[in-house]
């Protein structure tokens, strides 16, 4: 068929309703990156919506806020009635939320809150402050005496979660930094603020600015290498490391493991990614935080289906995004260590034990 013919046929089909399929998209989902196992797991679990008979489309932003915006726009053009968005940049995503509302779609912020706009209907998340608290508690539980070397690392300053994680960790670490149990070795801002139990967002931002990994394996590796090069032998030995997520924690841990002046390290993480579960079994990562994506996806799907049927999903709390109180449903988290990995990860059915090695 000639192009003009195709266009005419399309117009006729659209007019007759036969092309309704393309305009029938019920739920558009936009996830941040395929390069981290965490988000691939979320993607796989979202297929449940398809099983429920709804048309869904999942697009990837590959950590690019501009791509994320065009992804949302393309889903809206296809008629999406609900947008589930995990923002690459929590503030920049406000524009997408605004566009979605302008076109009559509902907006569910997924895992990461969309900031500075009233146009967010619901937020499904884990309790991110609890994630940071689990890290802080873990490191404090392993420390003895005074003058222990502490290295701090954070996620990306563009991700609101990075602030919540840090806030939770600070709640437990700060008193121990203030009393000299820990000595921070890689953030002059954290040292300057060690007397403050509650940090403002700006103050948190000043620390995060010095220790951000941008959620990137290679940035984390480069930063850890630079930190270890900058400090002397006395700052090494037995060290404590606030590792922000499994990907970056493995990168940082590997750098510390190869430094001959580091005799032992404790390092935190989150996401329970399979390679980190293996690291925990092998004693190369001290802990991770299981954020059960089965629950998160189930909550997002329930909220989306609720909206499609004209219902409002039930919330348990609200989060302030700078412009509005957003109705939310946070899920509890689980600390995973070598001691409890069997119950928390294998007995719970999260992963199959046979996929891992060196289990006693």
**Which residues in this chain contact ligand BGC in the complex, by CB under 6 A?**
36, 38, 111-112, 155, 159, 161, 215, 245, 270-271, 291
Which residue number, 92 or 305, has a Cβ lying nearer to ligand BGC? 92
Contacts of 158 (CB under 8 A, 6+ apart): 65, 88, 89, 90, 91, 92
Which residue number, 35 or 259, has a Cβ lying nearer to ligand BGC? 35
* Nearest distance from C-beta of residue 245 to ligand BGC, angstroms: 4
Which residue number, 110 or 151, has a Cβ lying nearer to ligand BGC? 110
Which residue number, 185 or 249, has a Cβ lying nearer to ligand BGC? 249
* Nearest distance from C-beta of residue 10 to ligand BGC, angstroms: 39
Which residue number, 112 or 329, has a Cβ lying nearer to ligand BGC? 112
Which token pair is 48? 């449940």
* Nearest distance from C-beta of residue 225 to ligand BGC, angstroms: 21
* Nearest distance from C-beta of residue 179 to ligand BGC, angstroms: 30
Which residue number, 72 or 156, has a Cβ lying nearer to ligand BGC? 156
Residues in a beta bridge with 241: 151, 267
* Nearest distance from C-beta of residue 344 to ligand BGC, angstroms: 17
* Nearest distance from C-beta of residue 329 to ligand BGC, angstroms: 15
Please name the residue that has the structure tokens 């034990």: 353
Which residue number, 36 or 335, has a Cβ lying nearer to ligand BGC? 36
* Nearest distance from C-beta of residue 77 to ligand BGC, angstroms: 27
């Amino acid at each position: 068929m000639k192009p003009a013919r195709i266009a005419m046929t399309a117009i006729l089909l659209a007019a007759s309703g036969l092309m309704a399929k393309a305009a029938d998209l019920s739920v558009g989902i936009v996830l941040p990156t395929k390069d981290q196992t965490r988000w691939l797991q979320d993607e796989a679990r979202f297929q449940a919506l398809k099983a429920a008979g709804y048309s869904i489309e999942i697009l990837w932003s590959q950590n690019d806020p501009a791509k994320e915006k065009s992804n949302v726009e393309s889903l809206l053009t296809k008629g999406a009635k609900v947008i589930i968005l995990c923002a690459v940049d929590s503030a920049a995503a406000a524009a997408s939320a605004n566009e979605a509302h302008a076109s009559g779609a509902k907006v569910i912020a997924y895992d990461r809150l969309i900031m500075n706009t009233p146009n967010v209907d619901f937020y499904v998340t884990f309790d991110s402050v609890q994630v940071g608290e689990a890290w802080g508690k873990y490191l404090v539980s392993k420390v003895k005496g005074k003058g222990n070397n502490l290295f701090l690392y954070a996620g990306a300053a563009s991700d609101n979660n990075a602030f919540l994680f840090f806030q939770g960790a600070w709640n437990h670490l700060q008193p121990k930094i203030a009393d000299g149990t820990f000595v921070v070795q890689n953030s002059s801002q954290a040292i300057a603020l060690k007397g403050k139990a509650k940090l403002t967002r700006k103050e948190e931002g000043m620390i995060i600015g010095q220790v951000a990994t941008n959620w990137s394996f290679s940035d984390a590796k480069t930063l850890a290498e630079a930190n270890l090069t900058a400090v002397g032998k006395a700052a090494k030995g037995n060290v404590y490391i606030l590792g922000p997520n499994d990907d970056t924690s493995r990168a940082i841990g590997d750098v510390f493991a190869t430094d001959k002046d580091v005799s032992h390290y404790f390092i935190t993480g989150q996401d329970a990614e399979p390679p980190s579960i293996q690291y925990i079994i092998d004693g190369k990562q001290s802990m991770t935080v299981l954020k059960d994506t089965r629950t998160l996806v189930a909550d997002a799907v329930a909220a989306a289906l609720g909206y499609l049927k004209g219902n409002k999903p039930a919330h348990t709390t609200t989060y302030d995004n700078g412009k509005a109180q957003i109705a939310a449903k946070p899920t509890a988290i689980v600390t995973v260590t070598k001691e409890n990995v069997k119950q928390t990860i294998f007995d719970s059915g999260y992963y199959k034990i046979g996929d891992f090695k060196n289990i006693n």
